[in-house]
Structure 1
Amino acid sequence: MFEKILIANRGEIACRIIKTARCMGIGTVAVFSDADRDALHVEMADEAVHIGPSQAAQSYLVIDRIIAAARQTGAQAIHPGYGFLSERAAFAEALEAEGIAFIGPNARAITAMGDKIESKKVAAAAHVSTVPGHLGVIESADEAVTIARSVGYPVMIKASAGGGGKGMRIAHDDAGTREGFGLARSEARSSFGDDRVFIEKFIVDPRHIEIQLLADKHGNAVYLGERECSIQRRNQKVIEEAPSPLLDEATRRIMGEQAVALAKAVGYDSAGTVEFVAGQDRSFFFLEMNTRLQVEHPVTELVTGLDLVEQMIRIAAGERLSFTQDDVRLDGWAIESRIYAEDPYREFLPSIGRLTRYRPPAEARHGGVTVRNDTGVVEGSEISIFYDPMIAKLCTHAATREAAIDAMATALDSFVIDGIQHNIPFLSALMDHERWRRGELSTGFIAEEFPGGFQGVSLDEDTLNKLAAVALSMELLRKDRLDRLPGRLGPHPGSWREDWVVKLGGVSFQMQCPSGVSLSPIEVDIVLPGTSSPVVVASNWRPGEPVWTGTIDDEVFVTQVRRSATGYRLLHRGADVVARVLSPRIAALDALMPEKRAADTSKFLLCPMPGLVVSVAVSEGQAVKAGETLAVVEAMKMENVLRAERDLTVQTINAKPGDSLAVDAVIMEFA
């Protein structure tokens, strides 16, 4: 076994690998760029080596610098994580030439499966079901249109060397094909240094299901069940689960056996994933093979009890698999939510900045539920523009899918992040979505269920009543503390009055406290609107804590809390409301106050996220039709097309290609 390994990656996956290596008694070496000098993975590793500037192309993607770091520290093997160099055959070959073990598959398998065009040919030869399409390299937009017409719309334009949703576009017509071809090539060139793309039929209402494999260097291979990754946004997975609510045991076995056959056909050795697109009728077609560890591997670990990183290390060291296919068992249900630095209220555009507060739910096993959080940041960490926007992967495991979802909902409501925008409100809302809970999924789920984007959710009456009760309990505790301040002449007026009005947004809730209040911890009887019997609200919460956890009539309730100028900001299950606790008299006066109107920004094109201006498609004085492209802004390796929302005339352009802009910076003004 190796004594020391180097992790050629960063962020949460580097931290994840370090944890397993530490459990195995193996020393670790981290590498880092300028932007990651103070990163968590650098702190966790036994040693760390600086490898260059912040740009990945000048640091994490430079093979010579990674090898030099291994030589310098005496690392005997390198784990590439995912992304970066993980699927570069040239990297595996370079390590072999240096006598350094690659904790991944052999270069021949990477070459055969890493190219999406060639991999489909190999899959077809191995009798794996494949999607109809054109597997040749496409040279021009005109050729792309001709091929798309022959395949039949809709089509998927995909980067041959792509992954992680980069370099992928769906086209429904000729115009979409031309635009998608250009954007896919540009993203592919930027992300992978390879602008080749191909076209295949887009399966309508598809589901994304993948089979996890393990294969050693002695010809043994097993499949570890499946993961469903159908909840996607812009071809980027958002939520994954294992097993899939679609598959039955017979389909699972057929898919697994085909995946193993493909692995054996290319002499695969390591952890790998064979991805399929599946129809609602359980028909399935090969998409690609990922010759690396997947982002979503934790859900497989939770249902199988296997550590995939440990297995990869043992395989790379030449060990045989210690179990057979008959030994593999799937236990319970696991769900993973990807926590991203992005603004769900602005079409999920990237967000950067410092984590002024970062407090994930505690990792634990309790009452048949496991909570796991794979992360690469701590409070105070910087989310930069240079890398993927993922902050963490929150996972829950329980005996049933419903229990795992409920546990995830509670964990998300307990996950505190301040300083940047993030997608937790959206993920939290999804956990209560009826279609998701029924398991009626497709890769179009988000587009279909949130056609106008995510604007928060409307909570049901029962949940609003509970939030109002929580707000009242917090206000009673705050008033009691005020009463105890030195110099107070007496009780705060109305501190223990019975009747209260709680305003949630623009809705008023008449509440009553018919009996006394116990404050250590707080326990109060509250009569909710439309009821006559009080409920008991109890909690150990103290003012200033960002999460209120307690019970309402012995039922656990969790919500995040922030102080606002006039009350409490409550974040629960995707809703974000301000609660104000008032006496009836103050509430009546408050109703007479005029509402402040938002400023009119319709005459400006504002930069929706921090990013780099790639291009400006219009000129001053130009008349533009609704839907036409105004500019393209790149952030975190994704190009975002900004379009006109109405017919307009460009008056002034304030930005040019190459400019780095802050969020809400004015790109152009309209007449």
Structure 2
Amino acid sequence: MFKKILIANRGEIACRVIKTAQRMGIATVAVYSDADRNALHVKMADEAVHIGPPQANRSYIVIDKIMDAVKQTGAEAVHPGYGFLSENPKFAEALEAAGVAFIGPPKGAITSMGDKITSKKIAQEAGVSTVPGHMGLIADADEAIEISGQIGYPVMLKASAGGGGKGMRIAWDESEVREGFQASKNEAKASFGDDRMFIEKFVTQPRHIEIQILCDKHGNGVYLGERECSIQRRNQKVVEEAPSPFLDPETRKAMGEQSLALAHAVGYASAGTVEFIVDGDRNFYFLEMNTRLQVEHPVTELITGVDLVEHMIRVAYGETLSFGQDDVTLNGWAMESRLYAEDPYRGFLPSIGRLTRYRPPAETPEYQPGVVPSAPVVRNDTGVFEGGEISMYYDPMIAKLCTWGPDRAAAIEGMRNALDGFEVEGIGHNLPFLSAVMDHPKFVAGKMTTAFIEEEFPDGFNGVDLAEVHLKRIAAACAAMHRVAEIRRTRVSGRMDNHERKVGADWVVTLGGHRFEATIDADRDGADVTIDGEILRCESLWTPGDMLARIAVSGEVIVLKVSKISQGFRIRTRGADLKVNVRTPRQAELAALMPEKLPPDTSKLLLCPMPGLIVRVDVAEGDEVQEGQALAVVEAMKMENILRAEKRGVVSKVNAAAGDSLAVDDVILEFE
């Protein structure tokens, strides 16, 4: 077995590979840019080599720099993770020339499957079902419009060398093709150094389901079931699960066998994923093959007990697969939620900064990849730590929270509780949205498509409106917490010896547009809170200052993220963000007379919605703009974001130009 491997990546996937390598007794080498000098993967590895500036195209994807690190450390093999150089055949070729093993497939398979046009032709020849589309490269927007009209709208514009949603757009008419074509080319060029595009028919009511395969160098291969990846935003996966709630055994078998046929057609050896679009009648169509480890591989590991990273290493070393297709069984259900550094309340725009608080839920200590779970599991694959920085230079995903249960309902419930217990402060993040998905009726029923987010959140995400019964439980919990905090306050003040007489029993709790009158009868073990004649028993070990409260309310445990505010708390739970005021009846009476504070008027300003780089400004002073017109383009975390006019107006001042780096809410344009 290899004595030392280098991980040519960063973040959570580098940490993930290091964990398995260390368990196998293999020494590890990390590489890092200036931005990652203090990163978690650097701390975890046995050695670390600096490879350049923060920009990926000057560090992580510069082959010569990675090869220098390999030479310096004497690494015998390189694991590329995903993204960066993982699907670059030139990198695999450079390693081969240096006599260093590539922990991935042969370069020929990468070349064949890395180009979406070539891979589609090979898939057709191998008997794999494919989506109708234009197989040739597209020269310009005019040709794209002509081809789209021939295929029939809607169409998908895709970067030939793309992946991870980069360089991909859905177009429903000519104008969207023209605009999306250039934006997709720009994204593809920035992300992959290759701006070639192609077009295919967009399948309506689609589900995104993929098959995990594993092949060795001796002609053996297995498929390890499927993953459902239909919860997507801008073609970027957000929630994944295994198995799919939609497939039947016959469709699973057909998809798995076709995936292996494709793998054998290109001499594949390593872990890989074949992605399909599946329609409502379980017809499936080949999308692409990812010749690398997928982001969502943990859910497959959880239901199969197979450590994919370990087997990738063993295959690269030349070992034969230790099991066959008949040995593969799918056990229970697994969920994965991707924690992104993006603000769902601001249109999911990227967020950067310091993690002032990062406390994931406790992982199941006895679980490790390669073992089939026998009890509920929580797993969190991450590459960050409290106090660390979230950089603008890399992908916004900072962790993958996974849960396993004996069935889908148990896995979802485990995820709900894990999300509620995940504490993140200092940056915008999508935890509230992930919680909302877990409680959404369509998701719970397994009736989702890739249009789930677009259809269910057409106006964006504005938080969750909890049912009154749940608000009542939160009100009771907050009343009980407020009483504890008040007792603490009177003890600290020292103004009365008998603090019980200081704290009253009657309170008014307001939250989420509701008003509850609460009466508290406390004892040594908890408190009975009476609301609307109903007695809610509250028991908890919460103490003032704790930012996470687990409270049993009439026997049902609720998990609350707690921040102190004047006369109450800011409470976050189940996707809701609530201002909860707990007041005496007299305080509540006076508060009702206070005028409401109005937010500042920014209707005549175009504000930068995220930290980023101005790619271009499309208007000038004095220009009249129309509703929906593109005003400027901001690049952040490798994605271009088009800022549009919300209404008609005249530009009075331009405050930014191409190349400027802006912070959140910096003024780009002013209007008359």
Partner Cα separation in structure 1 for residue 10 and residue 388 of structure 2: 13
Count of paired positions: 665
Q: Which position in structure 1 is the counterpart of 2:660?
A: 659
Alpha-carbon distance in 2 for matches of 1:73, 1:341: 33
Contact 2:567 / 2:583 at 8 angstroms: preserved in 1? no
Judged with a 3 Å threshold, the aligned counterparts in structure 2 of structure 1 residues 430 and 495 are, in CA distance, closer, same or farther, namely: farther
Cα distance between partner residues in 2 of 1:494 and 1:209: 62
| 1-structure distance, mates of 2:233, 2:515 | 36
Task: Give 1:433's aligned amino acid.
Answer: H
Residue identity matched to 2:8: A
The reply on whether 1:426 has 2:433 as its aligned counterpart is yes
8 A contact 1:483–1:491 mirrored in 2: no
Counterpart residue number, 2:370:
none
Q: In the alignment, is the contact (CA less than 8 A) between 1:191 and 1:637 conserved in 2?
A: yes
Separation (CA, whole Å) in 1 of partners of 2:531 and 2:160: 59
Residues 301-321 of structure 1, C-alpha deviation per residue, up to 9 Å, x if partnerless? 000011100010000000000
**How far apart are 1:486 and its partner, in Å?**
5.5
Amino acid at match of 1:517: D
- 1:267-282 equivalence runs, <5 A: 267-282=267-282
Find the counterpart in structure 2 of residue 547 from structure 1: 548
Map of 2:492 onto structure 1: 485
Q: Relative to structure 2, which stretch is displaced further, 224-233 or 576-585?
A: 576-585
Matched residues in 2 for 1:283 and 1:145: separation?
Answer: 28
Which residue is 1:638 aligned to? 639
CA distance in 2, matches of 1:400, 1:544: 37
CA offsets 1:167-199 (integer angstroms, 9 cap, x no match) = 000000000000111001000000000000000
Distance in 1 separating the partners of 2:47 and 2:141: 48
Give 1:523 deviation, angstroms.
1.0
Identity %: 63
Residue aligning to 2:575? 574
- Alpha-carbon separation, structure 1, partners of 2:498 and 2:185: 69
Matching residue of 1:563: 564
Q: Which residue in the other structure is 1:92 paired with?
A: 92
**In structure 1, which of residues 445, 449, 454 is the aligned counterpart of residue 452 of structure 2?**
445
CA 193–39 in structure 1, closer or farther in 2 if over 3 Å, else same: same
CA distance in 1, matches of 2:440, 2:480: 29
Once residues 618 and 486 of structure 2 are traced to their aligned partners in structure 1, the CA distance between those partners, rounded to angstroms, is: 57
Q: Measure the CA separation in 2 of the matches of 1:450 and 1:492.
A: 49
Paired with 2:323 and 2:650, the residues of 1 have a C-alpha distance of 68
Paired with 1:277 and 1:516, the residues of 2 have a C-alpha distance of 57
List per-residue Cα deviations over 1:197-256 (Å, max 9, x = no partner).
000000001000000000000000000000000000000000000000110000000000
Cα distance in 2, alignment partners of residues 113 and 385 from structure 1: 30
Higher mean C-alpha displacement, 231-240 vs 489-498: 489-498
Kept after mapping to 2: 8 A contact 1:153/1:171: yes
Letter in 1 for 2:612: G
SS in 1 for 2:531: coil
CA distance, structure 1, for counterparts of residue 22 and residue 112 of structure 2: 33
Conservation of the 8 A alpha-carbon contact between 2:333 and 2:411: yes
Q: Provide the residue aligned with 2:670 in structure 1.
A: 669
What is the rounded CA distance, in whole Å, between the counterparts of 1:492 and 1:609 in structure 2?
48
Give the stretch that moved more between structures: 584-593 or 295-304: 584-593
Distance 1:658 1:160 in 2: 27
Secondary structure at the aligned position of 1:516 is classed as strand
Deviation of 1:447 after TM superposition, in Å, equals 0.3
Judged with a 3 Å threshold, the aligned counterparts in structure 2 of structure 1 residues 26 and 365 are, in CA distance, closer, same or farther, namely closer
Describe how 1:181-260 pairs up with structure 2 within 5 A: 181-260=181-260
**Residues in 2 aligned to 1:301 and 1:516: alpha-carbon distance in whole angstroms:** 47
AA aligned opposite 1:448: E
Q: What SS does structure 1 have at the residue aligned with 2:131? A: coil
1:562, CA displacement in angstroms? Answer: 1.1
In 2, Cα distance between equivalents of 1:136 and 1:254 = 28
Q: Contact between 1:483 and 1:490, CA under 8 Å: does it hold in 2?
A: no
Contact in 2 for aligned 1:476/1:495 (Cα 8 Å): no
Deviates more, 1:600-609 or 1:536-545: 536-545
- Gap runs ≥5 in structure 2: 367-373
1:273 corresponds to which letter in structure 2? T
Partner of 1:141: 141
* Distance (whole Å) between structure 2 residues aligned to residue 151 and residue 57 of structure 1: 36
Q: Deviations over 1:136-170 (max 9, x none)?
A: 11011000000000000000000000000000000
The 5 A counterparts of 1:482-631 are 482-485=489-492, 487-491=494-498, 495-513=502-520, 515-518=521-524, 523-529=526-532, 531-532=533-534, 534-631=535-632
1-side partners of 2:246 and 2:55: how far apart?
41
Separation (CA, whole Å) in 2 of partners of 1:206 and 1:119: 21
The TM-score with structure 1 as length reference comes to 0.98
Query: Per-residue CA shift, 1:452-501, capped at 9, x if unaligned?
Result: 00001110011101111111111111111112226323456974433211
1:669 aligns to what SS in structure 2?
Answer: strand
CA distance in 2, matches of 1:603, 1:240: 40
* SS of equivalent residue, structure 1 residue 364: coil
Unaligned runs of 5+ in 1: none
Encode CA deviations 1:279-331: one digit per residue, 9 max, x unaligned.
01100000000000000000000000111000100000000000000000000
Counterparts of 1:588 and 1:418, CA distance in 2: 34
Tell me which stretches of 4 or more aligned residues in structure 1 moved more than 3 Å: 489-496
Question: Is the 1:224–1:304 Cα contact (8 Å) retained in structure 2?
Answer: yes
CA distance in 1, matches of 2:129, 2:522: 69
Q: Equivalent residue of 2:162, what SS? A: strand
* Cα distance in 2 for residues equivalent to 1:482 and 1:181: 62
Please tell me whether the aligned partners of residues 135 and 199 of structure 1 are also in contact (alpha carbons under 8 angstroms): yes
Counterpart of 1:642 in structure 2: which amino acid? L
**TM-score normalised according to structure 2 size:** 0.98
Structure 1 position 81, deviation (Å):
0.1
RMSD: 1.2
Per mean C-alpha deviation after superposition, the further-off stretch among 285-294 and 500-509 is 500-509
Paired with 2:403 and 2:102, the residues of 1 have a C-alpha distance of 31
Structure-2 residue corresponding to 1:105:
105
CA distance in 2, matches of 1:567, 1:657: 45
- Deviation, 1:543, is 1.4
Q: Which moved more, 1:612-621 or 1:367-376?
A: 367-376
CA contact (8 A) 2:496 2:502 kept: no
Instruction: Name the structure 1 match of 2:387.
Output: 380
Change (3 A) 1:118 1:588: same
- Cα pair 2:473 2:536 within 8 Å, conserved: no
Hey, what's the Cα distance between the residues in 2 that align with 1:26 and 1:112? Answer: 31
Match of 2:157 in 1: 157
What's the counterpart of residue 69 of structure 1? 69
Paired with 1:91 and 1:565, the residues of 2 have a C-alpha distance of 57
Aligned to 1:122: 122
| CA distance in structure 1 between the aligned counterparts of 2:477 and 2:378, rounded to whole angstroms | 25
Q: 2 CA distance for matches of 1:149 and 1:506?
A: 50
